[in-house]
C-alpha cells in the first residue's frame, strides 16, 4: 500500500518525525529511521557536488559533479520512499500476526500470510542497503575531486550511510527466520554480507581521503558530456 501525501514521513517536520519515532507506536521504527539517515547522507553528497559545480578550481571534475548531484538527489527521494515502504511492510506483518488461529485452516492461512509479509519486510530494508551502497560509491568518487571546504561533509555522509546500511541490514536479518523460501533467505544473507563489506570499504576510503586532504585525478570512466 502506497502512503498518501498526508501519511508520508517526508511531509512531517523533523520534530514531528522524531516525536513519532519516540512514541509507543510500532512505526516508524528502525527500518524507517535507517532510510531517513541514508537520505540525509544522500543529501550531503548532493550538496557537496552542488558546492563544487561551476568552480574553476574543480573544472576538470565537472562531469562527475553534475552526475553526483543528480545521483544524490535521486537517492534522497528514493530513500524517503523506502522509509514509508518499510513502515507499511511492518504494518502488514503485524496484521498477519493478528490473524485468527482457531482452526487448522486458519493456522495454515496465517502461516502463509506471515511468510509472505516477512519476505516483504526483509526485501524493503534490503533495498535500503542497496541504496546505501550507491550513496557511498558516489561519496567515494567525490572525495578528493570536489570542493575542499565541504570535504568533511563527505565524511559525515559516509558515516551516516554506513550506519544506515547496518541498521537496515539488521531489519533484513531479523525477518528472514519467518520466511519459508529458503532460496530467498540464502540469497538475501549473502547479498547483505557482500553489501555491508563493500559499503564499509568505500566509507573507509572516503573518510581516509577526507582526512588526508588528498587531491585525486579525474575519474577515467566519468560519464560523457551530453551532446
The whole-number pLDDT of residue 89 equals: 96
CA distance from start to end of the chain: 40
Answer whether the bond into residue 28 is a cis peptide, omega within 30°.
yes
> Where exactly are the structural domains of the chain?
26-212
Pick the CATH number of 26-212 from 3.40.1180.10, 1.20.120.680, 3.40.50.720, 1.20.1440.60: 1.20.120.680
pLDDT single digits (tens) 36-46? 999 999 999 99
Q: How far is CA 47 from CA 67, 151, 199, 227, in A?
A: 12, 11, 20, 25
Chain centroid, CA 205 distance in Å: 19
Three-state secondary structure call for residue 25: coil
pLDDT single digits (tens) 117-129? 999 999 999 999 9
Q: What's the half-sphere exposure (Cβ side, CA atoms, 13 Å) at 147?
A: 19
The whole-number pLDDT of residue 33 equals: 98
The number of beta carbons lying within 10 Å of the beta carbon of residue 121 is: 27
Q: Where are the beta strands (DSSP E) in the chain?
A: none
Instruction: Return per-residue pLDDT of the chain as tens, 227 residues.
Output: 455 545 899 999 999 999 999 999 989 999 999 999 999 999 999 999 999 999 999 999 999 999 999 999 999 999 999 999 999 999 999 999 999 999 999 999 999 999 999 999 999 999 999 999 999 999 999 999 999 999 999 999 999 999 999 999 999 999 999 999 999 999 999 999 999 999 999 999 999 999 999 999 999 865 444 33
The whole-number pLDDT of residue 142 equals: 98
Do 33 and 163 contact (CB within 8 A), yes or no? no
pLDDT single digits (tens) 109-157? 999 999 999 999 999 999 999 999 999 999 999 999 999 999 999 999 9
**pTM summary value:** 0.92
Amino acid at each position: 500500500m502506497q502512503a498518501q501525501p498526508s501519511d508520508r514521513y517526508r511531509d512531517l517536520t523533523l520534530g514531528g518525525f522524531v516525536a513519532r519515532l519516540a512514541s509507543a507506536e510500532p512505526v516508524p521504527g528502525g527500518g524507517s529511521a535507517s532510510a531517513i539517515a541514508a537520505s540525509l547522507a544522500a543529501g550531503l553528497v548532493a550538496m557537496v557536488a552542488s558546492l563544487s559545480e561551476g568552480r574553476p578550481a574543480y573544472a576538470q571534475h565537472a562531469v562527475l559533479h553534475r552526475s553526483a548531484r543528480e545521483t544524490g538527489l535521486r537517492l534522497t527521494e528514493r530513500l524517503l520512499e523506502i522509509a514509508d515502504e518499510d513502515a507499511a511492510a511492518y504494518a502488514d506483518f503485524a496484521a498477519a500476526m493478528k490473524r485468527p488461529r482457531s482452526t487448522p485452516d486458519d493456522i495454515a492461512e496465517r502461516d502463509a500470510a506471515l511468510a509472505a509479509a516477512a519476505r516483504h519486510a526483509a526485501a524493503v530494508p534490503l533495498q535500503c542497503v542497496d541504496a546505501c551502497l550507491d550513496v557511498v560509491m558516489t561519496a567515494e568518487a567525490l572525495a578528493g575531486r570536489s570542493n575542499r571546504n565541504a570535504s568533511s561533509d563527505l565524511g559525515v555522509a559516509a558515516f551516516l550511510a554506513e550506519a544506515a546500511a547496518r541498521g537496515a541490514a539488521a531489519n533484513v536479518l531479523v525477518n528472514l527466520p519467518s520466511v519459508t523460501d529458503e532460496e530467498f533467505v540464502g540469497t538475501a544473507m549473502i547479498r547483505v554480507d557482500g553489501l555491508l563489506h563493500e559499503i564499509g570499504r568505500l566509507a573507509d576510503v572516503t573518510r581516509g581521503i577526507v582526512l588526508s586532504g588528498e587531491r585525486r585525478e579525474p575519474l577515467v570512466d566519468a560519464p560523457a558530456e551530453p551532446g
